[in-house]
Amino acid sequence: MKIRYDLKPAAQRRTAPFTPQGPLSFGQLRTDHMFLMDYADGGWRDPRIVPYGPFSLDPGAVVLHYSQEIFEGAKAFKHADGEIQAFRIDKNAERLNRSAPGVCMPTIPVEDQVQAILALLDVDRLWFPEQDGASLYIRPFMIGTQDSLGVKPSTRYLFCVFLSPSGPYYPKGFTEPIKLLISRRFHRAAPGGTGAIKTGGNYAASLRAGVAAHELGASQVLFLDTTDTWIEEAGAMNHFHVTRGGRLVIPTFTDTILRSVTSESVLALGAAALGVEAVQERIPLAAFLEGLKSGEIAEAGGFGTAAVVSPVGAYVFEDKSEVKVGAGGIGPHTRQVYDVVTGIQRGTRPAPAGWMFKVPRIA
């Protein structure tokens, strides 16, 4: 793929390393440029890197009415040698291509998506925040842009990638476990639906569950399947627990659970690296709660790109009753998994072959 560069004038671009004065929050900032590519007449055209900014859309664009949208989230890190390395972006590109047919959108060759991300990271490499534990968050997404009110797939699409310089997810260290609401009132995904694809509509539909969680002092919902029998996932992260016997269990991926790249990485690493055996099983809620009460389940948490690992200290129910996980703190296995995955990302531990994508110097 030949990318066209239409960069900001040098005087308007960042020319010195980015050294934020205070703590950077997640996802607020943008860099100087974005990647764009249009789909029309059955093909992708005009891949380009242009100044970051608003683009115009017809008010009748399909995405604005019927949510024809898919997205991804990944991160790049700066290693001790000063090189920027993106974590497993081929996995994100593959997942975008699995999401696309779920909402009747076109795919993009994995190598083109990877090239687009690396080229953008290269152009805006000075935006990497010089701060401990920082990253450049990568947000690829695709929208249906045809001006059409008929309920059918758009004939035109826009693919965009932008970057967000972000501080450490845990600015005070890996210390505070979160609380999850186990809800029987809200469900995230139904069999045969879109739960296993990364589409904005799933998030719109889960917003009110998130608000209900906050009202009960929880930060997210742990969703159950529609029969309230099985544990599925939280709205933006997969769920896991660790048994006293040292097994880390992630619910088996179904068509109502999104395949997290973080979960897949933990499953791929194996016991030698992690100190626990990571497996997938269907998890009945009743057995899970019994395990928490008996102490058989000692640790629990969530896996996702933003936090990598979110330790869970307690679960709350809609009747406000609560169940604690272990002593409510962060367990040793949870900490080790966090240390291993973030160590690989930041280059302080060796990465399995093909996991890190070094940003080439082209622009």
Ligand X SMILES: *Cc1c(COP(=O)(O)O)cnc(C)c1O
User: Least CB distance from residue 10 to ligand X, whole Å?
Assistant: 35
Residue 307: what residue type?
A
Nearer residue to ligand X within complex by CB, 18 or 230: 230
- Using DSSP bridges, classify how beta strands 178-182 and 220-224 pair: parallel, antiparallel or unpaired: parallel
Burial of 348 by CB count in 10 Å (0-12 exposed, 13-18 middle, 19+ buried)? exposed
Q: Does 166 bind ligand X (CB under 6 A)?
A: no
User: Least CB distance from residue 25 to ligand X, whole Å?
Assistant: 18
Q: Distance between CA atoms of 142 and 159, rounded to whole angstroms? A: 4
257 in Cβ contact with 195 (< 8 Å) = yes
359 in Cβ contact with 121 (< 8 Å) = yes
Q: Distance between CA atoms of 151 and 148, rounded to whole angstroms? A: 8
307 in Cβ contact with 173 (< 8 Å) = no
Give, as ranges, the residues between 30 and 69 that touch ligand X (CB under 6 A). none
In 23-42, which positions are buried (b, 16+ CB within 10 angstroms) versus exposed (e)? ebeeeebbbbbbbbbebeee
* Interface stretch with ligand X, choices 144-152, 214-222, 300-308, 354-362 (CB under 6 A): 300-308
247 in Cβ contact with 279 (< 8 Å) = yes
Chosen residue from 103, 258, 278, 312 binding ligand X by CB under 6 A: 258
Chosen residue from 179, 187, 198, 241 binding ligand X by CB under 6 A: 198
Q: Does 233 bind ligand X (CB under 6 A)?
A: yes
Q: Which two tokens stand for residue 282?
A: 């269907």
Q: Distance between CA atoms of 116 and 239, rounded to whole angstroms? A: 31
* Interface stretch with ligand X, choices 37-45, 120-128, 170-178, 234-242 (CB under 6 A): 234-242
Q: Distance between CA atoms of 338 and 356, rounded to whole angstroms? A: 17
* Interface stretch with ligand X, choices 20-28, 77-85, 101-109, 256-264 (CB under 6 A): 256-264
Q: Does 205 bind ligand X (CB under 6 A)?
A: no
Nearer residue to ligand X within complex by CB, 86 or 258: 258
Nearer residue to ligand X within complex by CB, 240 or 303: 303
Q: Does 199 bind ligand X (CB under 6 A)?
A: no
Query: Could you tell me how many residues of this chain bind ligand X (CB under 6 A)?
Result: 14
Q: Alpha-carbon Rg of the chain, whole angstroms?
A: 21
296 in Cβ contact with 283 (< 8 Å) = no
Nearer residue to ligand X within complex by CB, 98 or 156: 98
Chosen residue from 29, 103, 158, 236 binding ligand X by CB under 6 A: 236
User: Least CB distance from residue 356 to ligand X, whole Å?
Assistant: 16
Q: x/- site string to ligand X, residues 70 to 89, per CB under 6 A?
A: ---x----------------
Nearer residue to ligand X within complex by CB, 148 or 194: 194
User: Least CB distance from residue 197 to ligand X, whole Å?
Assistant: 9
Binding site for ligand X (CB under 6 A): 73, 198, 233, 235-238, 258, 260-262, 303-305
